[in-house]
Structure 1
Amino acid sequence: GFDASDKMIKGLKDGEIHALILQDPFNMGYLGVKTMIEHLDGKKVEATMDTGSTVVDAKNMDKPEIQQLLKPDLDKWLGE
């Protein structure tokens, strides 16, 4: 699978899915805004940018850094 939903996370836990490939939407947003500001400031920016991906499986899905990708703490970012 690609990215995560509750159904896909359950499938991973239950062994129905072997792995997920996760993107980092917060990093994507941050780099997008940062690159736009650099462009508007007249700096040279790359035409494309790799924001990374992470393979998640049953062995690593409980690690804190993986949990942050699977279930991001939105309250932390939204101030709620």
Structure 2
Amino acid sequence: MKALTREREHRFFHAVAWLLAGLVFLGFARTYYLKSFFGAPALPLLLHAHGIVDAVVWLVHRSDCARELAAH
């Protein structure tokens, strides 16, 4: 019974991770990922660097949170 619950939890969190990734893509699609299709102006290099730094910091933070939770 416990193995089945763990498998469901893994599926749930996997699905939530994909859902959040999809929402991020949809949220930034018009102004970033698909801007050439919507005629948005080019972004300065500083904004690209800001996005990369934010994404890396967020991913490291989330990974650390998940590691801490898994330890308990």
TM-score computed with the length of structure 1 as normaliser? 0.28
Larger Rg: 2
Q: Which gives a bigger RCO, structure 1 or 2 (Cα 8 Å, sep 6+)?
A: 1
More strand by share: 1
TM-score, normalised to structure 2's length?
A: 0.30
